[in-house]
Amino acid sequence: QVVLWNAETLKQKAVLEEHSLLITDVRFGPSIPRIATSSFDKTVRVWDVDNQDDTVHTFTGHSASVMSVDFHPNKDDLICSCDGNGEIRLWSISSGRAVRNFKGGSSQLRFQPRHGGFLAAASENVVSILDVETQACVRIFEGHTEHVDSLCWSPTGDYVVSTSEDTVKVWSVNSGNENCVQELNSTGSKFHACAFHPKYPSLLIIGCYQSLELWDMVENRSMTVAAHDGLISALASSSSGLVASVSHDKHVKLWK
Ligand SMILES: *[C@@H]1O[C@H](CO)[C@@H](O)[C@H](O)[C@H]1NC(C)=O
Ligand SMILES: *[C@@H]1O[C@H](CO)[C@@H](O)[C@H](O)[C@H]1NC(C)=O
């Protein structure tokens, strides 16, 4: 079940109830008011949010739980998703069909911001950078010893950040494989989700078990903020300056 809230008034706007099993990822459309969700029920759904009849597009074809979904930053008709078997699908929203189908990621994927030329995809301990046009793998970032739980791009699209329980790594996309430019080791908190601060691009927000870690990557300093009663499973940063955190404690919190 997806509940849509108005962030200004904090009133509930709509309840989108359709997936039959757990939802694994949720994303806002970059220009058209839409939401995409992926689920253990092997489907992806896209909702037209402002449409009175709540049009829902359902995408079927994945053979395993769909673990992640994302909208292309400027091609309004394009979304991608990946499943537990490592299969990635690019879908046309209007036709409801998969336009490409290839291997490369199983736990999370994110389009590069702005141009959308690349796709970052995580599978076990590895992060791959794939060319969206050719589906070729152009970079492989190896170095995590634990499973990668989440990915985020810097707003300029030059760096990808990957988190696993024990460490956060920052990779430069423009300078070859194995280029981990910075890392933060956990001193006890279990890292899980990540997002760049909407106003300070050198500040990375890491969602942990019960807390948020704020890491200033330029000063190389970090601080811990108590935030939830459970694991912070996802973070999102909005252009209006808000950060949303979602936790296994069943709360969504908005920060600024
Ligand atoms: C993080 O831990 C790894 C493995 O213990 C170590 O090799 C690395 O130097 C550490 N990095 C930092 C920035 O402390
Ligand atoms: C960042 O700080 C940590 C400890 O606070 C230290 O272990 C690490 O080496 C520093 N990294 C850099 C690149 O200065």
| Alpha carbon separation from 136 to 49, 66, 101, 121 (Å, rounded) | 34, 22, 12, 12
Is the shortest distance between the CB of 166 and ligand 1 below 6 Å? Answer: no
Sketch the domain layout of the chain as residue ranges: 1-103
Q: Which atom of ligand 1 is nearest to the CA of 183?
A: 13
Is the shortest distance between the CB of 18 and ligand 1 below 6 Å? Answer: no
Q: The pTM is what?
A: 0.88
Reading the block at residue 218, the tokens are: 């330029």
Reading the block at residue 142, the tokens are: 């190896």
Is the shortest distance between the CB of 185 and ligand 1 below 6 Å? Answer: yes
In DSSP notation, 8-70 reads: TT--EEEEE---SS-EEEEEE-SSSSEEEEEETTS-EEEEESS-TT--EEEE---SS-EEEEE
Predicted local distance difference test score (pLDDT) of residue 7: 61
Predicted local distance difference test score (pLDDT) of residue 134: 95
Per-10-residue mean pLDDT, the chain, length 256: 63 65 83 86 87 77 95 95 96 94 93 95 96 94 95 94 97 81 92 92 94 94 92 83 80 77
Predicted local distance difference test score (pLDDT) of residue 80: 97
- At the topology level of CATH, where does 1-103 sit? Methylamine Dehydrogenase; Chain H (2.130.10)
**CA 167 / ligand 1 centre spacing (Å):** 9
**CA 208 / ligand 1 centre spacing (Å):** 19
Closest CA to 217 of 201, 234, 195: 201
Residue 18: how many other CB atoms lie within 10 Å: 16
**CA 121 / ligand 2 centre spacing (Å):** 27
Assess contact for 23 and 39: CB atoms under 8 A: yes
| Alpha carbon separation from 71 to 53, 188, 237 (Å, rounded) | 22, 34, 15
Assess contact for 194 and 171: CB atoms under 8 A: no
Predicted local distance difference test score (pLDDT) of residue 253: 77
Q: What are phi and psi of 126, to 5 degrees?
A: -115, 140
Q: Which of 164, 182, 183 to mutate to test the pocket of ligand 1 (most atoms within 8 A of CB)?
A: 183
**CA 185 / ligand 1 centre spacing (Å):** 6
Is the shortest distance between the CB of 183 and ligand 1 below 6 Å? Answer: yes
For the CA of 217, the nearest ligand: 2
Predicted local distance difference test score (pLDDT) of residue 243: 86
